[in-house]
């Protein structure tokens, strides 16, 4: 029987995959794929971690971003 629950300790112990955006070398993130671990084989479920000082990989443009409080 497959375990459908992942505990936080199990997730912490998982090795993440370093991903670097090809347009921005400072946009690094660590991805942990957890969907397959709980039987979700047809949908991707990931935990993404971005270290302080690193960029995310979204290119935010448009009037909603230009006037944000960031």
Neighbour-count burial for 23-48, b at 16+ CB within 10 Å, e otherwise:
eeeebbbeebebeebeeeeeeeeeee
The ranges assigned to domains in the chain are 8-66
Task: State the pTM of this model.
Answer: 0.66
Residues 21 and 31: beta-carbon distance below 8 Å: no
List pLDDT tens digits, range 34-55. Answer: 988 888 888 888 999 999 999 8
Whether the per-residue pLDDT at 19 is higher than 80: the answer is yes
The structure tokens listed for 43 are 């949908």
Instruction: Calculate Rg over the CA atoms of the chain.
Output: 16
Residues 35 and 43: beta-carbon distance below 8 Å: yes
């Amino acid at each position: 029987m497959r375990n459908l629950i992942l505990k936080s300790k199990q997730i912490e112990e998982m090795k993440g995959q370093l991903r670097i955006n090809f347009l921005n070398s400072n946009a690094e993130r660590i991805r942990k794929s957890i969907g397959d671990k709980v039987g979700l084989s047809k949908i991707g479920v990931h935990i993404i971690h971005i270290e302080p000082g690193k960029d995310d990989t979204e290119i935010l443009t448009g009037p909603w971003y230009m006037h944000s409080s960031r």
